[in-house]
Amino acid sequence: PSDKLDVTAVTGTDGKTTVVNLAASVFANSFEDSAAIGTLGVVIYRKNQRKQVLQDYSPANLTTPSAVILQSIFEKLRNEQIGKVFLEASSIGITTQRLQGTNIKTAVFTNLGSDHLDIHGDLGNLAYSKSQLFAHPALTNIVFTEKNRFQHSEIHAVYEAIERSDAKKISVGIKAFPNKPTNLTSEILIVEKNVSRLGTMVSVIKNDEESEPFLIKIFGKHNLENLSLVAGLLPDDFKVGNAGKVLGDCRLPEGRFELLDKENLPLVCIDFAHTPESLKVTLQTLGRLKEKRSSNLICVFGCGGNRDIKKRPIMGKIAASYADHGYITSDNPREESIEKISQEIMSGICLKKKGDWLLIPDRRKAIEAAITKADKDDIVLIAGKGHEKTQQIKGVLFEFCDKRVAEEFIQKGIN
């Protein structure tokens, strides 16, 4: 079925969900109806921001569906008159041959970071897994961020695979505020002009031609990098003068830097950040949105159970480095003890800052404390679960939605 579709596969530790959904939305509004397959399930995007979630395949238990299910999804999308598909390709999905039988025309690489090392062992093995996508024989285009070539020594396996491919290569990147000179040779750059709670003012450079600045509801250099990858996917004849029209209505997917902003109440951000790298950039971005020096940045987060334990102290150290204080809580503890996971996170926080962090195993109570005890000028990040609607505890799935819980306590503050 994929032979009659234009399939783009996106791999990388962070950003896959954002890229496939942003891309599908942009293409639907300016070019043709498109679909995204991945963490949020199967989502069809049509013109004028219309979305349709295919309930038979959502929510997704696997980032990349099995080969058989994937082909049935493609057949369904063909019947829905969809021509362009953007697919999340996880490292596990690639190594377990879930993409077998899929005709992939374009491959995208976001970045490499510390996740799923409990399965892959180390970053080198993780990079090798992701590199296999770029050996796909039918590839005609590869889009990648030039900056990330220098991210880790282990990342070379990915870039070597990109170089070996006969596909056309499109390098992209960002020029973040303040606009320091960049030595990147990227063909497409997203240039950040300034940022506020309203969004980010950006322009697009393509082949040395720069667009007029325009405002987007996207925050953070990591999300601007994701947007640059989307820009790299646009048709060859895309005119940079149309950048504002094509990219200006971009919206991040559910649970990705989702701001709940009410007057005279703390700004609350719901984000899926669950790796060291994504937690760091999200906290850094929120730090720039502080409107007063006296404002506090408060973080609520945990780490998943029965998953990579090495990242727990690292995430504790990052949280304590970029947030003023916060709450360590549950985040799908599965079969593990919430207290054990929390102590492992706490072990990464230096002695001087340990007093700024409270362990509240009940995620609902942690969110309540963060919002109700915050000052109106503070910023609260609720990290780790994003769009998820459940908590996995001791083999049982409980209904739980960070956004819904946060909105409940925000409403109490309004009343």
Print pLDDT tens along the chain (415 aa): 899 999 999 999 899 999 999 999 999 999 999 999 999 999 999 987 788 988 777 555 678 999 999 999 999 999 999 999 999 999 999 999 999 999 999 999 998 875 555 564 577 788 898 999 999 989 999 999 987 777 667 788 999 999 999 999 999 999 876 555 555 568 999 999 999 999 999 999 998 899 999 999 999 999 999 999 999 999 999 999 999 999 999 999 999 999 999 999 999 999 999 999 999 999 999 999 988 888 999 999 999 999 989 999 999 999 999 999 999 999 999 999 999 999 999 999 999 999 999 999 999 999 999 999 999 999 999 999 999 999 999 999 999 999 999 999 999 988 6
Give the domains, in start order, of the chain with CATH numbers.
Answer: 2-247 (3.40.1190.10), 258-414 (3.90.190.20)
Alpha-carbon torsion, ordered 234, 256, 73, 132, to 10 deg: 70
Q: What is the pLDDT of residue 326?
A: 98
Query: What is the pLDDT, as a whole number, of residue 180?
Result: 52
308, 291, 303, 289: which is closest to 383 by C-alpha?
303
Closest-CA residue to 51 (of 62, 38, 63, 42): 42
Three-class SS state of 327: strand
**pLDDT for the residue 148:** 73
3-state DSSP assignment of residue 263:
coil
Q: Which amino acid is at 79?
A: N
Structure tokens at 278: 């994504």
Q: How far apart are CA 346 and CA 348, in angstroms?
A: 5
**How many secondary structure helices (H) and strands (E) does the chain include?**
13, 20
Give the contacts of 360 (CB within 8 A, at least 6 positions apart). 327, 328, 329, 366, 369
Q: Any idea of the CA torsion for 145, 150, 155, 159, to the nearest 10 degrees? A: 50
Q: Which residues contact 61 (CB under 8 A, 6 or more apart)?
A: none
Res 173: pLDDT: 94
Residue identified by tokens 């996971």 is: 341
Residues 6+ apart with CB under 8 A from 372: 409, 412, 413
pLDDT for 54 equals 85
pLDDT of the residue at 404 = 98
Instruction: Determine the pLDDT at residue 1.
Output: 82
For 16-42, how does the pLDDT look when each residue is reduced to its tens digit (9 = 90+)? Answer: 999 999 999 999 999 999 999 999 999
Distances (CA, A) of 109 to 77, 153, 221, 364: 24, 16, 16, 35
| H-helix or E-strand spanning residue 87 | strand 84-88
In the block, residue with structure tokens 């995620």: 363
Q: What is the pLDDT of residue 53?
A: 86
Angle of helix 276-288 relative to helix 221-233, nearest 10 degrees, comes to 110
What pTM was computed for the model? 0.91
Give 362-392 pLDDT, tens digit per residue: 999 999 999 999 999 999 999 999 999 999 9
- Assigned token pair, 254: 């559910």
Residue 414, number of CB atoms within 10 A of its CB? 9
